[in-house]
Chains A and B, each alone.
Chain A
Amino acid sequence: MSRQNPYIPIPVTIESAVIETDDRLIKTFDLVFRDKGDEERFTYLPGQFAELSILGKGESPIGIASSPTERGFLRFTVMKVGLVTTALHDLEEGSIMGVRGPLGNWYPVEEMRGKNVVIVGGGFAFTTLRSLLVYMLDQRDQYGEITCIYGARNPGLLCYRGELDEWAKRDDLGLYLAIDWKFGPEGPIEGPSEEGWAPVNLKDPSQTTLDPSVHKFTAFVPQLVQAVKPRAKDAFAIVCGPPIMIKFTIPVLLDLGFPPERIVNSLEMRMKCGIGKCGRCNIGSKYVCKDGPVFTYKELQNLPKEY
């Protein structure tokens, strides 16, 4: 950490602000540093976050969605939730705002070199996973097999759809997308929820026969992980999504043979300072802002269940 006052936001300009999802609640912002020196000092790795700062409104901790291999901008994908994110959504391209960071730790990109990586994401928590995926694809020869399993409630809620289409064409990446089942009074309805979204075996997802030409599925994310059956040998699983998805995905990964130290999660908490001082984002003695947000499942097993 450079010796600068960590509470002072770095000025940036909003270069682009694009609505990401059909519900119009998620927007992606590309931010450009106003000072070249600031840009050089802002060195980060996939998994880190920053406080987006709008003077007069406040700050929100948001994961960095761009990869450090992409130069010239910082990308953040933000859901409109409260005061700050609403104000941010209202800002136009060209507006000046602030960024405080990079904060927190990162995915184990060094340990994973030469290993296989399975990315499991749900909803708009895909942001730092995008950062990781782009980071690895930009140094493709440094990593083994890469599998990406990503789901949202419906196709219109998937982020980065243009990129997903591009990634689907690559033969050095196993991309699997999921949308939720449609529900009847008796529970999930067998069959595709949308045209072109093949169902997995509802009774036993692991019995699904995968057609190599198909990458879009009707399934909950944990079921799609069961269907894809990524190999655990020499592999890391990186999981980021809503708590319910994480809760059901971890047992699947353990069953597949992933050891707890190679299942990696990213957590979120209400935060203010982002530097481990204001005292609110702790789980046990660990601060999600400073000691996290990335924790292995093994580390989480040793912490109180208070998240």
Chain B
Amino acid sequence: MNAKFLSFADLDGFIRGLAKSHTVVGPRKRKGGTLYAQVSTAEELELEQTNCLRGPKEFFFPQSEVLVEFEGYIDRAVPAGESEKPVPLVLFAARPCDARSLEILDRLFVNEDYVDDYYKAKREAASIFCLSCNSPKPSCFCTSVGGNPFDTSGCDVSMTRCTDGFLLEPLTGKGESFVKDLNDADPSLLEERQRLRKEAEGVVRTDLDIGGLPEKLKNMFDDPVWAEITDKCMGCGVCTYLCPTCHCFDIQDEAVDNKGKRVRNWDSCMFPIFTYHGSGHQPRDKRYQRMRQRIMHKFNYYVENFDVIACVGCGRCITECPTNEDLRDNLKKLKELESSTVE
């Protein structure tokens, strides 16, 4: 299908149309920052802000999600939400890094070993419109980790903000069904997109090249550098909560008498209790060991298991860190360090 055009003036009608049959979620100004939130008009959208404070994972893997509800004995336990079909969702104007983060999470939650039905159902009910980044932020580094401000992976429709409106390129059958009634875009817009893409790529900081780092990290487990890069960290875990690809969770029961629910909650490898054994044994009692786990998981373990780096370069862990830890500096240090002598 040809690329389509949606003028700024028509955006509101388009959103209102979508909202009739879908839950539409897009960047929206909220107290404290811009967040992905439900919208029903174009006015509610905040499309200037390059990056929302949080990624979109919460719409597929909520911070707190009921797995099982029960009353009395176990044979009356029912999987929560199994009876109701998830509402079709349109994630509108997600940034390319955020769209890509969902593809990365898919490999963990839906694979040949085990399928996470809760995640899968919500994911299948969702369509992604991504909005290319004309002006990446100083904290962005998507191009260093396999992304691009104009990347379209994980998207059903790719949107580019041009001078007079949006260029909409459907990439999947699902995407086509959303835009088929719009007018074809003038071919000049595709040229404009190319120009904007070049400009944007030039803005993203490019002095970080992590080529070869995943393989190198395998032999760096015992390197003293981990303690060094952990000096500033106070272990608050905000990097993991805001990270669009962090997916570790805890499972807790909440019950009064014999009625209650089993809930999974986001958890963080930066907390000591994450690995604390019942016996009192603690495999990661030092903060540097937990920092090492976080970086190793993203840049080595995930690559070994799922063939992709679990980082999209969104920069949230950099902008929101209370002690100004900069993942880029740490990766650079790890990359440039002399090959570890410790086997």
Q: Which positions in A face B, CB cutoff 8 Å?
A: 1, 3, 5-9, 11, 34, 53, 55-60, 81-82, 85, 96-98, 243, 268-270, 272-273, 275-282, 284-285, 290, 304-307
> Do A280 and B75 form a contact, CB below 8 Å, given A3-B115, A55-B260, A306-B283?
no
Does A275 lie within 8 Å of B113, measured CB to CB?
A: yes
Asked if B68 and A8 make an inter-chain contact with CB atoms under 8 angstroms apart, the answer reads: yes
Nearest Cβ in chain A — how far from B108, in angstroms?
6
Residues B251-274 near A (CB distance < 8 A): 251-253, 255, 258, 260, 262, 264, 267, 269, 274
Point out the residues of chain B lying under 8 angstroms from A269, CB to CB.
275, 277, 283
Contacts A272-B250, A282-B301 given; does A1 touch B70 at CB 8 Å? no
How far is the CB of B293 from the nearest CB of chain A, in Å?
Answer: 8
Smallest distance from the beta carbon of B218 to chain A beta carbons, Å?
Answer: 8
Contacts of B305 in A (CB 8 A): 285
Whether the pair A1, B301 counts as a contact (CB closer than 8 A) is no
B100 within 8 A of partner (CB)? no
Interfacial residues of chain B within 283-339, with CB under 8 A of chain A in the complex: 283-284, 289, 293, 296-297, 300-301, 304-305
Nearest CB on A from B116, distance (A): 6
Residue of B nearest to A304 (CB): B221
Q: Identify 28 residue pairs between A and B in the complex whose beta-carbon atoms are under 8 Å apart, listed by A's number.
A: A1-B114, A6-B116, A8-B68, A8-B77, A53-B74, A55-B262, A56-B70, A56-B260, A57-B253, A57-B255, A58-B253, A58-B262, A81-B278, A85-B278, A268-B277, A272-B250, A277-B108, A277-B109, A277-B249, A278-B248, A279-B247, A279-B248, A279-B249, A279-B267, A280-B275, A284-B296, A285-B301, A290-B113
Contact status of A58 and B283, CB under 8 A, knowing A270-B276, A270-B277 = no
Main secondary structure of the interface of A (DSSP, over half): loop
By the criterion of a CB under 8 Å from any partner CB, how many residues of chain B are at the interface? 50
Chain A residue numbers with a CB within 8 Å of B258 are 55-56
Contacts A280-B248, A285-B301 given; does A6 touch B70 at CB 8 Å:
no
Interface centre among A53, A277, A305 (most CB of B within 10 A): A277
Chain B, 68-107, contact with A by CB distance < 8 Å: what is the 0/1 string?
Answer: 1010011101010010000000000000000000000000
Chain B residues close to A by CB (< 8 Å): 67-68, 70, 73-75, 77, 79, 82, 108-109, 113-118, 221-222, 247-253, 255, 258, 260, 262, 264, 267, 269, 274-279, 281, 283-284, 289, 293, 296-297, 300-301, 304-305
B293 cross-chain contacts in A, Cβ below 8 A: 282
Of the residues A58, A82, A277, A285, contact of B247 by C-beta under 8 Å:
A277
Please determine whether A98 and B250 come into contact, CB atoms closer than 8 angstroms. no
Which residues of chain B are within 8 angstroms of A7 by Cβ–Cβ distance? 67-68, 79, 118, 262
Closest Cβ–Cβ distance, residue B340 to chain A (whole Å): 12
A81 with B251, Cβ < 8 A, contacts A7-B68, A275-B113 known:
no
Q: How many A-B residue pairs have CB under 8 A?
A: 122
- On chain A, the residues within 8 Å of B108 by CB distance are 277
Residues of chain B with a CB closer than 8 A to A284's CB: 221, 296, 301
CA distance A280 to B109 in the complex (A): 15
Q: Are A11 and B253 in contact (CB under 8 A)?
A: no
Task: Known pairs A97-B74, A278-B264; list 9 more (Cβ under 8 Å).
Answer: A34-B75, A58-B253, A275-B113, A277-B116, A278-B248, A278-B267, A284-B301, A304-B221, A306-B289
- For A85, the closest partner residue in chain B by CB is B278
The answer to whether B117 touches A5, judged by C-beta atoms less than 8 angstroms apart, is yes
- In Å, the complex CA distance between A35 and B264 comes to 27
Main secondary structure of the interface of B (DSSP, over half): mixed
A276 touches B248 (CB 8 A): no
Q: Determine if B278 and A11 form an interchain contact, defined as CB atoms under 8 angstroms apart.
A: no
Residues of A within 8 A of B221 (CB): 284, 304, 306
Q: Contact between A58 and B113 (Cβ–Cβ < 8 Å)? A: no
Contacts A5-B79, A276-B114, A306-B283 given; indicate if A55 touches B275 (C-beta within 8 A): no
* Residue from the list A55, A275, A304, A305 in contact with B70, Cβ < 8 A: A55
Residues of A within 8 A of B281 (CB): 243
Q: Give the CA-CA distance A284 to B108 in the complex, in Å.
A: 16
Cα separation A8 to B262 with both chains bound (whole Å): 10
A96 → chain B closest CB, angstroms: 5
Specify which of A81, A280, A285 is in contact with B274 (CB 8 Å cutoff). A280
Residue of A nearest to B119 (CB): A277
Q: What chain A residues lie within 8 Å of B252 (beta carbons)?
A: 58
Is the Cβ of A58 less than 8 Å from the Cβ of B75? no
Considering the complex of A and B, which 5 residue pairs feature the smallest CB-CB distances, nearest first? A279-B248, A56-B255, A285-B301, A81-B278, A285-B304
Say whether A96 contacts B251, CB under 8 Å: no
Question: A260 to nearest B CB, angstroms?
Answer: 16
Cβ of A74 to closest chain B Cβ, rounded Å: 15
The closest CB in chain A to the CB of B260 belongs to A56
Given contact pairs A55-B258, A55-B260, A269-B277, A277 touches B74 in the complex (Cβ within 8 A): no
Q: Does the CB pair A96–B253 fall under 8 Å?
A: no
Chain B residues lying within 8 Å of A3, measured Cβ to Cβ, are 115
Structural contact, A11 and B67, CB atoms closer than 8 A: no
Which residues on B sit within 8 Å (CB–CB) of A53? 74
Please give the distance in Å from B237's CB to the nearest CB on chain A: 13
